[in-house]
Amino acid sequence: MTVFFKISGLKFLNGCFLLLLLLLLASPAQAVLLTPSQPKLAAGGQLEILVETMNNQAQQPALVLPASWQTHFKLLDQIYQLETKGQNRFTHRWFLVLQHLQPDSISRRLDLEPLQINGRSSQALQLLIEAARKKPTIQTQRLSQPLTMQQSVDFTDAYLGQTLVYQLLIRYQGFPLEPRLSPLEVEGATTRQLGDGREQGFNQRGVSWQEARWQELIQLHTAEARILPRYFSSRLTLTGQTGGKLYEAETPTLKINVRPIPDSWPKEQPWLPALGVNLEAAFLPRPKQLKQTEALELSIHLDVVGQQARNLPQFKAMASENWRIEPLTEELTDRIVDGLLVGSLKQRLLLYPKQAGNLKLPNLTLNWWDVNAHQARHSQVKLGQLEVLPSDQTMAKMKAMQEFKDAQALEKKQA
């Protein structure tokens, strides 16, 4: 019995015959072949996979997706085909249609465990997941022309403690007189202005417009948050008019879905929700030789996407039997990169070796919560080891002691 199914593309069919030849040459321990329809997959998209194996039984083998597959994919469709290649030689094929379950995933490489059929394993499946860039949710309402007003945030679904980028955009024609703008009011959050507003002109279909933008940071503090309506009014003097006419605009309420801190997050760790983290550390300058009494500067640079700098944890003083590290200075900055907030922390610390020898230094670790993948992560930098020489004072004492021992040995020899 043969069941036929549709596979997209003539190239895909030609590839199947080549893979079948490889299947005949495969070792018994790995006689299941997987052929995905594409090496890259957009987050939340569908993936087609051809599964092939051979044995001496006409009965359909059981195909069960491993746990790691079911974590990331949902099986939408499965079509089975049996092909007879000779006496007691059968080729079993499955055409699988899978739905990726994480449409808000970041760009990443997905490593899935081998698929097993009747004790035989396939190759491990590797896929590149490409994040779908979310467009800012914009709510706008035009009450009158030639004036428009809209407000937006980069994320309307966020975690408690996450920092959002809010933007207000006002477009108008003519020259404004007596402009009035209501302040930003947010329930369940605090706000902070990010730089000064900027204004620029542009031409749309032969009509000259002015555009004013303001950006502010919104820090979520409660389980419910919403941005209240804002109002703007101004008299606009258009070409050929005198005195100006009063125009008004209003934005509707913008609600934000706030996720709580996950129960799996350790309570003793500082809570840090973010889109991404980059942690770097280095000794400046890297010493060729370091003496016991000398201090060495350690520079730490931390960039966190989706969080303002004032919320970043700073590395505190550390000490052991062989060394101690003391904070020296810190610098905090916030900036917008490709529409996303990046909070930066630059710290300078001093390392003081207590003993000479090969000193093993600690690892710098930062725990954070990936708001796209909805899971805990950590970033770590290994400081490695340092070779520390004895101080000049210690060297002088060692030299004096050695000279004393040599003198005693000489006296005994002469006696």
Q: What is the pLDDT along the chain (415 residues), one digit of tens a residue?
A: 333 333 344 344 444 444 444 444 444 444 788 899 888 889 889 999 999 998 888 888 988 888 888 888 999 989 889 888 878 888 999 999 999 988 888 888 888 888 888 888 888 888 898 887 655 555 444 444 788 999 999 999 999 999 999 999 998 888 888 889 999 999 999 999 887 777 777 676 666 788 889 999 999 999 889 999 999 998 888 766 666 788 899 999 999 999 999 999 999 999 999 999 999 999 887 766 677 778 889 999 999 999 999 999 999 888 888 888 899 999 999 999 988 999 999 999 998 888 888 888 889 999 999 999 999 999 999 988 888 887 656 555 655 566 556 666 667 777 6
Residue 394: what pLDDT?
A: 57
Residue 102: what pLDDT?
A: 86
Q: List Cβ neighbours of 64 (8 Å cut-off, separation of 6 or more).
A: none
Identify which of 373, 343, 360, 333 has the alpha carbon closest to the alpha carbon of residue 279. Answer: 343
Residue 207: what pLDDT?
A: 65
Residue 110: what pLDDT?
A: 86
Q: How far apart are CA 406 and CA 412, in angstroms?
A: 10
Residue 153: what pLDDT?
A: 93
- Could you tell me the pTM of the whole model? 0.58
The one-character DSSP state at 236 is E
Q: How far apart are CA 325 and CA 386, in angstroms?
A: 14
- Residue 298 CB burial class (10 angstroms; 0-12, 13-18, ≥19): buried
Residue 15: what pLDDT?
A: 45
Beta strands per DSSP E along 221-362 = 224-227, 231-237, 245-250, 254-259, 273-274, 276-284, 290-291, 296-305, 318-319, 323-337, 340-353, 357-360
Residue 122: what pLDDT?
A: 87
